[in-house]
A and B are shown apart, each in its own frame.
Chain A
Amino acid sequence: MIRRSLPYLGIALFVLVFALPVVWMIGAAFEDPARAGRGFLPTAPTLDNIRAVLADGFLVRLTNTAIVAFGATLLSLFAGFLAAYALARFRFPKRLDVLFLLLVLVVKLMPPIVVALPLHALLLDLGLLGTLSGLVLVYQLYTLPFCLWMLLGFVREVPVEIEAAAAIDGAGLLRRLWHIVLPLALPGLVATLIFALILCWNEFLFALLYLQRPSRFTLPLYVATFITEDETLWGRLMAIGLLSSLPVLLVAGYIQKHLLRGFAPGTK
C-alpha cells in the first residue's frame, strides 16, 4: 500500500514546488498592500493592487507588448511558412537545404547578446532605435528560426498527393498554398503562433537594450523597473506579474501538448 502510493507522493511534492511560487504571486496580488507577500493566502482580499497597477500605465505596456508580439509573430509566420514549404517540398541543388537549416539552427541557439551591438547600430541607421517596429524587426532573430523549424514539421505532414492532384487540375503555386497547404497545416500554424507570441511576450534583453522611453516599455521591462526601483511594493509587483502572465497561464493546458515541438526541436 505504502509502496504503491509513494510515486504519487513524489508527484505531489513536485507539483507543490512548482505551484507554490505561482500561488504566492496570486495571493500577494490580492492582499492588502501593507501585508502583501507575508503569507500565501490574502487575509483581507482587496483589488487595491490591481486597481493601482491599472491606473499606473499597465495598459500602455500591455498594448506595447501585444503590438510587438503580434507584429513579430505574423512577420515570422509569413516568411517562415513560405520557407518551410520550400524546404519540405522542393528539391534543392547541392544539399543547400541542409545548409539553410543549419544556419537557422545556429541562429536559434546562439546567444542573442552576441549580435546586440551590430543590431543597435543597424536600428540607429534605420532610425528605428527606441521604436516598437524596430523591436519587431530584431525579434525576428527569435521568432523566425522558431517558426520555420516548427512549421517545417507541420508542412511535411500535409500529404503531397492532394497538391499533386490540384496541380494536374491547373492550380498554380499560390492557389495550392492558399487553398490546400494553409488550411491543412492550420492547427500547426495556430500552435506555432501561440508559442511565438509567448516568446515575444516574455522577451527581455532586446527590449532593455533598444527601448528607452518608459511609455514604449514592454511588460518584462516594466517588471524590471519595478523590481529595481520599488523593492518591496510586492502587492503591486505581483499584480503586474499576475496580469501580464494571465494570457499565458490560461493557454498552458492547451499548449502543454504541443510544448515539446516548440522548445525542443529534434524531439517528437
Chain B
Amino acid sequence: MLFTDRRQLALLLLPAALLLVVFALAPVVQVAIYSFQSIDYAADTARWVGLENYVTLFGDWFFRVDIGNTVRFAVVASLAQVALGTALALLLNREFRGRGAVLSVVVYPMMLSTLVCSAIWRSWFHYDVGVLNGALGWLGLPPVAWLSDPGLALWSVMLVDTWQWTPMTTLIVLAGLQSIPPEVVEAARTDGARTWVLLTRIVLLLVRGQIFLALLLRLIDTFKLFDKVYALTGGGPGNATETMSMYVYQKGFSFFDVGLAAAASVVMMAIACALCAVYAAQAMRGSSK
C-alpha cells in the first residue's frame, strides 16, 4: 500500500513531465510540422507543401557535403578518442603515488567550456605566431595552415575534440578495467600467458562493453558538433568544416528558411534516435548484469 497511490505518483511526476513535454516533446513535434510547411515570416503565413522541403534538402549540394563532414568527423574523432582513451586507461590501471592528482589533471580538458578550449587552440593553430607552427619551425619543418587549408581544417577540429574528450573515454574504460577481478588476470598469468596475449585476449575482451559504450557516447556527441566549428573556423574555409548542426543554424537563423532547416532537423533527429536505440539496448544490457 506504500507507493501505490496513483494520485501521489502523478503529482511527483508532474513538474518533470510538464517541463519535458513543453520544452522537448512539443518542440520535436513542432519541428516535424514545420518541415512540411513553407513559412513566410513577413506575411505571418504558413502553407503545406508536402515533401517539397525534403526534396530541396537532399538536392542541396551543401547539405550533402555537411552530412559527409559530420559523419567523417564523428567516426574518425570517436575512434581516435576511444583508442587513445583505452591506451591511457590501461596505463592508469595500476597503483602508483600521485594517481589521484594525475586523474584530476587528465579531466581538465573536459571540464573547460568548449569555447575556452577553442580559444586556446585557435591561438595555437595561428599561422604566424601559434605554438604549433612555432614547434614545427623549431624542428626545422615548414608551417602548416591548420585552419585555413580546406583539406586540413576538419582534421584540426578533430584534434581539438580529441584533446577535449579523450579523458571521458579514459574514465569509462578505466572503470571497466577496475571492475575486473584480479584473480582472473592472476589465473591467466599462472597459466603462462604472455603479457601481450593477456592484454588483448583477456583484458580488452572483458572491457569490450565499456569500450563500445564509450564509442557510442562519443558518436552521439560528435554528431551534434557545433560550438567548436563555430569558434574555430566558422564552417570554413568554404564549407570544409560545416556540419549538419551548422546547416540548421544557417538556414534557420540566418536565411530564415524555416521549412528547410526543419527538414534538416528531422533528418538529424532520425539519426540521433537510431544511435540512441543502440545506446539504450547496450546500457540496459549493462545494467541488468
Contact = CB atoms under 8 A, between A and B. Distances in A.
Interface of A: 7-8, 10-11, 14-15, 17-19, 21-22, 24-25, 28, 37-38, 75-76, 78-80, 82-83, 85-86, 89-93, 100, 102-107, 109-122, 137-138, 140-141, 144-145, 148, 163-164, 167, 173, 198, 201-202, 204-205, 208-209, 219-221, 223-224, 226-228, 232, 234, 237-238, 241, 244-245, 248-249, 252-253, 255-256, 259-260, 263-268
Given A82-B16, A90-B4, A113 B276 contact: no
Interface of B: 2-6, 8-9, 12-13, 15-17, 19-20, 22-28, 30-31, 34, 87-88, 91-92, 94, 96, 100-124, 126, 129, 131, 134, 163, 166-168, 171-172, 175-176, 179, 210, 213-214, 217, 220, 223-224, 226-227, 230-231, 234, 244-245, 248-249, 252-253, 258, 261-262, 265-266, 268-269, 272-273, 275-276, 279-280, 282-284, 286-287
Contacts of A167: 2
A263 B102 contact: no
B91 A224 contact: no
B119 A238 contact: yes
A164 B4 CA distance: 13
Which of A204, A238, A265 has the most C-beta atoms of chain B within 10 angstroms of its own C-beta?
A: A204
Contacts of A100: 13, 17
Contacts of B30: 115, 117-118, 121
A133 to B, nearest CB: 13
Nearest to B265: A114
27 contacts: A11-B102, A18-B108, A25-B116, A82-B12, A86-B9, A86-B13, A103-B20, A110-B24, A111-B245, A113-B245, A113-B249, A113-B265, A114-B248, A122-B27, A163-B2, A167-B2, A205-B226, A209-B249, A232-B123, A238-B120, A238-B123, A248-B112, A252-B111, A253-B101, A256-B103, A263-B168, A264-B214
Nearest to A3: B195
> Which 9 pairs across A and B sit closest by C-beta, in order of nearness?
A266-B283, A202-B113, A83-B16, A118-B27, A115-B27, A79-B15, A118-B30, A86-B12, A111-B224
A10 B125 CA distance: 25
Nearest to B269: A114
Given A79-B16, A116-B249, A204-B115, 14 more contacts: A7-B91, A15-B102, A18-B108, A21-B120, A90-B8, A112-B224, A141-B23, A227-B115, A234-B123, A237-B123, A238-B119, A245-B113, A245-B116, A263-B168
Contacts of A249: 108, 111-112
A266 B220 CA distance: 14
B190 to A, nearest CB: 20
Contacts of A90: 3-4, 8-9, 12
Nearest to B167: A18
Contacts of B8: 90, 173
Contact of A266 (B103, B272, B287): B287
Given A90-B3, A244-B116, A14 B268 contact: no
A11 B20 contact: no
Contacts of A267: 172, 175-176, 210, 213, 286
A220 B115 contact: yes
A138 B23 contact: yes
Contacts of B110: 263
Contacts of B101: 253
B286 A85 contact: no
A184 to B, nearest CB: 17
Contact of A109 (B9, B34, B172, B220): B220
A253 B168 CA distance: 15
Contacts of B107: 252, 255-256, 259
A254 to B, nearest CB: 9
B213 A264 contact: yes
B226 A113 contact: yes
A222 to B, nearest CB: 9
